[in-house]
Amino acid sequence: MSQKKWRICSAILSLLLISASADEATSDETADKFAQLPEEKRKELLEVYNKSDVHIVHQKLTELRKQWLEKLKNQEVPQSQTLRKRPDMELTSNIPTENPPTVLPIHEVNKNANLSEFMYQSDMVLTLTQLELIARKEEDTRARRQAYRDVYYPNTIWGNTLYYYFDPSAS
């Protein structure tokens, strides 16, 4: 079996396992949140998620967020660690005299439109394959890069490089 066919089969198997093990309460929540969106936003989401099921992606993102919250709650903060302090006074030269027009960042725009829950980090649309990779990598520990020279330099510097591209149809 070729590597491409193997990847497709494993992706299909992963999807089947996800859908089979999905909690009904979570899927009901997903359906409710999707139903609460205005018709225009629902059409946009379905158009954006044309290669994967928006409900499954939302459900998987919700599960990942719960895992991340549990992980953060279980971490203990050392008592000796000082909290970062904000400066009490800001230089008056940095404060603008006029109020410029407010331009919201993309994550706030999506949050205000109730779309941030359907996206990774509030602004990225993921396919199920990408979401599975993120979930798998969360379980693995992060490999640290070491900058050293040996006979295999530069191949030993950047181990797991992430290559990306922008689809020509992206706007």
Tens-place pLDDT, residues 79-136: 665 666 666 555 555 666 677 667 777 878 878 887 778 888 877 878 888 888 888 8
**Could you tell me if residue 15 is inside a domain?**
no
Backbone angles phi, psi at 120, to 5 degrees: -80, 130
State both tokens at 87.
Answer: 């400066």
Residue whose tokens read 């979570």: 26
Banded pLDDT at 30 (limits 50, 70, 90): low
Cα first-last separation, the chain: 37
Q: Which range marks the domain in which residue 65 is found?
A: 25-75+105-142
Q: What is the DSSP letter of 127?
A: -
**Could you tell me if residue 83 is inside a domain?**
no
**Could you tell me if residue 4 is inside a domain?**
no
Banded pLDDT at 19 (limits 50, 70, 90): very low
**Could you tell me if residue 136 is inside a domain?**
yes
pTM above 0.85, yes or no: no
**Could you tell me if residue 96 is inside a domain?**
no
**Could you tell me if residue 118 is inside a domain?**
yes
State both tokens at 131.
Answer: 């979401």
Cβ pair 115, 48 in contact under 8 A = no
**Could you tell me if residue 47 is inside a domain?**
yes
**Could you tell me if residue 18 is inside a domain?**
no
In the predicted structure, residue 6 carries a pLDDT above the cut 60 = no
Q: What is the rounded CA–CA span in Å between residue 34 and residue 58?
A: 9
Number of domains observed in the structure of the chain? 1
